[in-house]
Amino acid sequence: MAILRLINRVLVLPTLGFGLGVGTFIRAWPNEGSGLTLGDDDAGRFQRRDVLKKIENLSQFKRLSADGSYVKTLQSDGIPAAHRPNCVGQGILFGYNKLEIDPIILKSEEKGEIVVFYHLGKDLGNENGKVHKGILSLLLDEALCYCGFPTLPSKRGVTAKLDIHFDNDIPADSTIVLKAHVTQSRGRKCIIDGTLESVPSNPVTSLVMGPTTYARAQCILVEPKWFRIFSRVDLF
């Protein structure tokens, strides 16, 4: 009897508990949902069309859109519909006077680069009308990781270190662009550098003065060894 109790405690119960946990987790995981598009009615209710038009008219946007090595998507395209309310950029920070557009992503896996356009609404500012740096940190962490994921063996990873240097404040109600590129990739580790910059409001002055750099960041992204256990199972 003592042996049976030991087997039950050490082997049967833990195995049963793990199996039930995994089974419940898989059943509860939401199905993939389609993302918003610029032509959807739902997208129009939550996005500022004037900002979208401004971005689409930028020479940088046109150039990258015409470059065959870049793929244009929206942030929501990569997030299952059931998960969007729990995603910072698609949930509590997305909407009127917050993140007022679904961030537009231009990504080149071939070059290891991404360019992301955001519009930061009035409610994301502090008492001085400047965007909270915590929000900018979230955007940088999220985008730099997204840039580095394709270089990892399982295409998934976690932030090991994020260094950010804030150079200038961003006025609330501003359209900005995030640029990031992979500078080093080896095995389960990669390093990504990125910046947050202004978008040109005047083509003439932008040629002379260039964009304003708001922040510079470097992210060290790693893939934990245990991720390989789930490499053949679409769990996350």
pLDDT of residue 35: 43
Q: Which residues pair with 106 in a beta bridge?
A: 72, 115
Most confident of 5-19, 89-103, 218-232: 89-103
Residue 221's closest CA among 153, 166, 133? 153
Mean pLDDT in residue range 92-103 = 88
Q: What is the pLDDT of residue 118?
A: 95
Q: What is the pLDDT of residues 185-231, one digit of tens each?
A: 898 899 999 999 999 876 655 566 788 999 999 999 998 887 776 66
Mean pLDDT, residues 7-31: 56
> Which pLDDT tens digit goes with each residue over 21-59?
555 555 444 554 444 444 444 544 568 899 999 999 999
Structural domains of the chain, ranges and CATH numbers in brackets: 39-230 (3.10.129.10)
Q: 94 pairs with which residues across the strands?
A: 99
| pLDDT digits 0-9 by tens, 172-185 | 999 999 999 999 98
Give the pLDDT of residue 90. Answer: 76
The answer to whether 170 and 120 are in contact (CB under 8 A) is yes
pLDDT reported for residue 96:
87
DSSP letters spanning 72-94: EEEGGGGS-GGGGGGSTTTTTTB
Structure tokens at 166: 């804030």
CB 76 within 8 A of CB 66: no
**Tens digits of per-residue pLDDT, 111-163?**
999 999 999 999 999 999 999 999 999 999 999 999 999 888 888 888 899 99
| pTM summary value | 0.77
pLDDT of 236 > 60? The answer is no
pLDDT of the residue at 47 = 82
Pick the range with the lowest mean pLDDT from 22-36, 83-97, 158-172: 22-36
Which pLDDT band, with edges at 50, 70 and 90, does 79 fall under? confident
**What string of DSSP letters covers 7-72?**
HIIIIIHHHHHHHHHHHHHHHHSPPP-PPP-TT-HHHHHHS-HHHHHHHHT-HHHHHHHH-TT-EE
Closest by CA position to 64, among listed 114, 139, 120, 101? 114
